[in-house]
Structure 1
Amino acid sequence: MVQTPVLTSRWESTRVPRSGTMFCVKKSVTPVRYTALHIDVARFATDDFNPFHDKHKWARIEGNPFGGPIVLGFQLSAYVAHAVWSISDEPARRLRYSHVRVTYADAVRVDETVTLTIKPPQWTDDGQQISHRIALRTPRSLAMTGHLRFTQKPAHDAPPPVQPLSLNRIRDRTNVPGTEYFLKRKYMTTANAKNFLIGAGVEPSLYLDELDDRINFPELFPVSMISCALLERGVKRHYDFLGRPMVYAYHDIVIDREAIGRLKSNDTVNILVSNARVAAAEAFGTGLRRGQQMHHCLGYSGLGEWIFQAEIGLVPLASLLAKSSTET
């Protein structure tokens, strides 16, 4: 049985020398242990068929060092996003956009416990943006680092590659004519959203409860379907997932929270995934890795409303293993 812990947290304080003033330095959140069932529930909820998460196929991945299934990247991000949201005050919650920017430092393996640390909020002078730095750790290592921002200023200014409403007329799992984008069509369902939250270690009734007429899809749920879109694109291109495995290096995501709030059960979400682009610069201080690539992703509702954009960084497992061997 998958158990969903109640997230609790506490601020840790330190004293300024001489003055004696106390100030908060970080908030620690109740640790969560991710079992194989958590991983299965999350991947089935998002149609993520990546063999790294599959309890049967992980052993067939060439050079796989993880010894079992690993936790989904979006599964971890959803846990972090909920934790930050749960400690946010009302002014922060009223800001329209979320900006999730994280680097994956190491995989979280099956049955590992993660501990999340959230730094105190930093507001801009105009009160239009608040930012929290985060760090997610396992007993072995740092797994994820980055920041979550809530802002009133939209960070997307590029025109859409195609008229968004026209996406409804394009066949699912095909290239969008005249563009570099691949289309994956998904549908919002409360059952899948609840399972996604359970898999992430978050209580679903905080977002979705039919008796209380509460249908608030978690903001990273539609975004998490990017993984399925990337995999479907790879299948269409006959990519060798077992012989040439890749893992997430970073996610840089901007979400319109008001648009997410307007989504209802069975609504369409059209996801666009660009061709792979070779990284031209360091990614968030992690350093350029051999073969690192990036996909630009966009999400639109069936009504043509912009929901999210994301830059997804991927790196070949082989380059990580080579880097690790040179450091030891």
Structure 2
Amino acid sequence: MKLGKNKKQKTDQIIRIEELEALMQKYGDDLKPEDMEDIVSMYMPHRKRRKLGAALLRLDKLQLLLLTLMLVVCILFITAFMQEKMGNFTINLNRLELYRKGVSIADTGDFKGATARLTASTVKDATNISIDDIPEDVDDIEGSHNGKNYMAYTYYLRNAGKEDLGYVASITLDSCSKGAEEAVRVAVWRNGERTVYAEPSANGEPEEGCVNFESDTIVCSYEETNFLVGNVDKYTIVIWMEGDDPECVDRIIGGSVELSMNIDADYDDQSSLLWKFVTDIKDTLFDDKPIDAAGNEAPNDSYYSDRVITWENRRNKD
């Protein structure tokens, strides 16, 4: 009985709409088509969605394929953007000018799972400590190895590609709150040599035992003009709030900093993306140091024709 009643109500509703349209066409000469559409939609719920569905069904297969591909590209773009913002410290390698040429990064010296992007684990609810609290062997541990109240990450950068080149590695201050950047310390071990960076003191002089940040947004940068095929560089980054800093006061409690390390080529290649793609295809076809098509593994140059380039057998070991 209930089902029959619903059917009758639906039929009555359609009849009333048809009668309304007839009356409006007869007496409403000044009525605009878009006004009619809005009125009819009020009486027929979901009418616009049904019309959209019917329009999609009328598309041919090619149009549906193109529409689907556009949707997938949009989703991938949004996902990539969100990933770039995850974590409190990321290492990003220039994919177009470095990764495609066989330069890669990894959190282990054997370069298993070589990639173009690494993310350190987040340190939550950290408080201030002293530099003396940082373990002496912090540069000897691979990957993410945070301690109590400090972030630590060790990774390797390798040229196993097509040519000798140069790079610039910069640590940037991406965001901060409550003035926490005034007491933060960033220690960098590059191939075993340590440098500690900090904001200038109140009088503009470097903090004790530290080098000033390069600017308000750049902590430091390392330039390697002759990164030969077979070379491997090692970086360890440690970040903490220095308790002995005069700017480490109560007002920065609850503050935070977010940093990243970006590795770019030291040259600006103005050639088009299409030409770069064609060049890579040519190198692959003629076996001229081809890059792995999947983009997941950096190839080995003839310098190491019979083995993988690692931190242990690197060309710049001595």
TM-score greater than 0.5 by the shorter chain: no
Structure number with greater Rg is 2
Q: What is the TM-score of this pair, normalised by structure 2?
A: 0.23
More strand per residue: 1 or 2? 1
Q: What is the TM-score of this pair, normalised by structure 1?
A: 0.22
